[in-house]
Amino acid sequence: MRTFSVKSKICDDVACLYLKGHLDAHHVDRFEKEMVKTLGNGLVKIIINGEQLSYISSAGMGIIMGYLDEVREKGGDIKLCELNNQVYEIFDLVGFTDIYEFLRNEAEAMERFKNVSAKA
């Protein structure tokens, strides 16, 4: 069975989630728990770093989409970075590239959040 892990780090008021491995329906619960924990801590500026993500299924993308409205209503956003071409193409195929900002690296994503104030 393919493996998946998610780790998080908080820099200032931005949560960085690091996805590693194969994110499919068998592992989506781990990702969702991390998103719930992040939002529960009041963090709505979220960077998803996919440098080590080898695959994402519709279930994984559904978690990202499922929290987008809540995050944006609170003045935050979800940005994705460091995806390999194969994973980026999956997002592009389903139209996520029109909804989310995809950046080359985490530093660029952090820079985009510098002038964003989350709502209390």
Query: Using one digit for the tens of pLDDT, what is the confidence trace for 58-69?
Result: 999 999 999 999
Query: In CATH, what number does 4-110 get?
Result: 3.30.750.24
Q: What is the pTM of this model?
A: 0.93
E strand or H helix at 113: helix 106-113
* Res 36 pLDDT > 80: yes
What pLDDT does residue 119 have? Answer: 65
Average pLDDT along the chain = 94
**Domain boundary assignment for the chain:** 4-110
Residues sharing a CB contact under 8 Å with residue 107, sequence separation 6 or more, in sequence order: none
Element housing 69 (H / E): helix 58-73
